[in-house]
């Protein structure tokens, strides 16, 4: 294997903690086709000693490694990177143990999305973790793992906090408009729909099939935790405090996020200028695709892929920009972004293991 500079190097040795969940499964699916990486350890508190392909039969013959307990003495010590596909609170306790060994860490939860304690506590209060952060000294060391905005910082980091799925959709959908000052920031409204897989693998009566089929609902209205990272990232980009209105909905789909974003255009802006600004902003970003109003997009167009499709429209009657941003919540919204971050951290081609179309229909 060669890196970007042509030097020979061994494959990256990977451990996945929380491998039995949807996030862990998604990472395994991607690493099977990754030319520069190999999974050496699958770790979970549940289903210990079971093969991962017993839990997920579609992995049979592709990955049959057994799940190891977190305290298993046979867990490899020479890993290069560990993925925490775990709920909030796990990574902040266990990441220091791996970082002290020189192992890079990518955390799927909100534990390391914020690099100061005050901002983290605002997020933590939303999810009921008001007891604080177990490893606050690590927060300034962490980097927010949205590659399209923080590629340079990710490349030099050993601790990355993967972004939230809703945040990926909203931030990518809004960043060019904020950067080019196309809109009035105080007018931003994000109306987001997500599939049921965003709730994770753990059974819940609310997501039981009869309760979910042909049913949709708004939830955490004006109180979703991903708002903190959306506002922070847009505020950094725009150089001012930004507050948005964000409402998420669960719809009867397995996977996918569709976010419709509304904002008032500033005087003199038109659709042509908006399209030019968006295409210029993402000219070097392979996984963001821009579409005009005559190219309608649906969730199936990104399902199973690491792409974010952005459709641009202007309502000339009201002077509002309407952006439709679509991702697969389990790929670009989770495992795909994590693999993209790993590639950057190790100097690999950013698209390694990720450049494939979605699944249709």
pLDDT classification of 208: cutoffs 50, 70, 90: confident
Is residue 292 within 8 Å of residue 312, measured between CB atoms?
A: yes
**Phi, psi angles (nearest 5°) of residue 158:** -115, 5
Which CATH number is 341's domain given?
3.40.50.720
Q: Compute the distance between CA of residue 352 and CA of residue 345 in angstroms, rounded to an integer.
A: 12
Q: What is the count of structural domains for the chain?
A: 2
Lowest mean pLDDT, pick from 8-17, 259-268, 327-336: 8-17
356 has pLDDT over 70: yes
Q: Which is higher by pLDDT, 205 or 56?
A: 56
Is residue 171 within 8 Å of residue 155, measured between CB atoms?
A: no
The reply to whether 41 and 182 lie within a common domain is no
359 part of a folded domain: no
The model's pLDDT over 36-79, given as tens digits with 9 standing for 90+, comes to 999 999 999 999 999 999 999 999 999 999 999 999 999 998 99
Task: Please give the distance of CA 242 from its chain centroid, rounded to a whole number.
Answer: 21
210 part of a folded domain: yes
The reply to whether 178 and 324 lie within a common domain is yes
The model's pLDDT over 268-294, given as tens digits with 9 standing for 90+, comes to 899 999 999 999 999 999 999 999 999
CA quadruple 70, 75, 78, 82: dihedral sign: negative
287 part of a folded domain: yes
Lowest mean pLDDT, pick from 89-93, 105-109, 221-225: 221-225
Domain containing 22 equals: 12-163+333-345
pLDDT classification of 4: cutoffs 50, 70, 90: very low
Which CATH number is 296's domain given?
3.30.360.10
Collect all residues with Cβ–Cβ distance below 8 Å to 55 and sequence separation of at least 6: 20, 25, 47, 67
Q: Compute the distance between CA of residue 14 and CA of residue 11 in angstroms, rounded to an integer.
A: 9
From residue 174, how far is each of 167, 273, 287, 291, 358 by CA, in Å? 10, 15, 16, 14, 23
The reply to whether 119 and 265 lie within a common domain is no
The reply to whether 325 and 191 lie within a common domain is yes
Q: State both tokens at 261.
A: 């974003």
The reply to whether 315 and 270 lie within a common domain is yes
Q: State both tokens at 117.
A: 């304690």
Is residue 184 within 8 Å of residue 255, measured between CB atoms?
A: no
Is residue 183 within 8 Å of residue 266, measured between CB atoms?
A: yes
7 has pLDDT over 80: no
The reply to whether 132 and 222 lie within a common domain is no
The reply to whether 86 and 132 lie within a common domain is yes
Residues labelled catalytic: 165
Is residue 138 within 8 Å of residue 95, measured between CB atoms?
A: yes
7 part of a folded domain: no
């Amino acid at each position: 294997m060669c890196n970007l500079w042509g030097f020979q190097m061994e494959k990256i040795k990977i451990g996945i903690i929380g491998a039995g969940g949807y996030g862990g499964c998604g990472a395994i699916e991607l690493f099977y086709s990754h030319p520069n990486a190999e999974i050496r350890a699958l770790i979970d508190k549940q289903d210990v000693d079971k093969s991962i392909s017993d839990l997920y039969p579609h992995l049979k013959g592709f990955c049959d490694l057994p799940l190891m307990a977190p305290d298993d003495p046979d867990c490899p010590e020479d890993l290069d990177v560990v993925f925490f596909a775990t709920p909030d609170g796990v990574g902040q306790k266990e990441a220091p143990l791996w970082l002290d060994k020189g192992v890079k860490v990518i955390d799927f939860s909100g534990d390391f999305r914020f690099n100061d304690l005050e901002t983290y506590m605002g997020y933590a209060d939303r999810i009921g973790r008001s007891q604080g952060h177990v490893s606050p000294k690590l927060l300034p060391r962490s980097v927010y793992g949205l590659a399209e905005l923080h590629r340079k910082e990710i490349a030099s980091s050993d601790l990355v906090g993967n972004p939230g799925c809703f945040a990926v959709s909203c931030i990518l959908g809004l960043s060019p408009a904020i950067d080019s000052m196309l809109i009035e920031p105080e007018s931003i409204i994000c109306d987001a729909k997500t599939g049921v897989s965003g709730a994770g693998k753990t059974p819940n009566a609310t997501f039981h099939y009869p309760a979910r089929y042909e049913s949709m609902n708004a939830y955490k209205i004006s109180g979703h935790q991903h708002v903190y990272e959306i506002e922070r990232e847009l505020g950094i980009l725009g150089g001012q405090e930004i507050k948005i209105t964000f409402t998420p909905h669960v719809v009867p789909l397995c996977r996918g996020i569709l976010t419709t974003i509304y904002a008032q255009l500033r005087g003199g802006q038109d659709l042509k200028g908006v399209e030019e600004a968006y295409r210029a902003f993402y000219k070097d970003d392979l996984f963001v695709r821009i579409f005009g109003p005559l190219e309608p997009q649906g969730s199936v167009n990104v399902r199973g892929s690491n792409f974010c499709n952005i459709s641009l429209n202007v309502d000339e009657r009201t002077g509002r920009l309407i952006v439709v941003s679509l991702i697969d919540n389990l790929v670009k919204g989770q495992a795909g972004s994590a693999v993209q971050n790993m590639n950057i951290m190790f100097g690999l081609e950013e698209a390694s293991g990720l450049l494939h179309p979605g699944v249709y229909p």
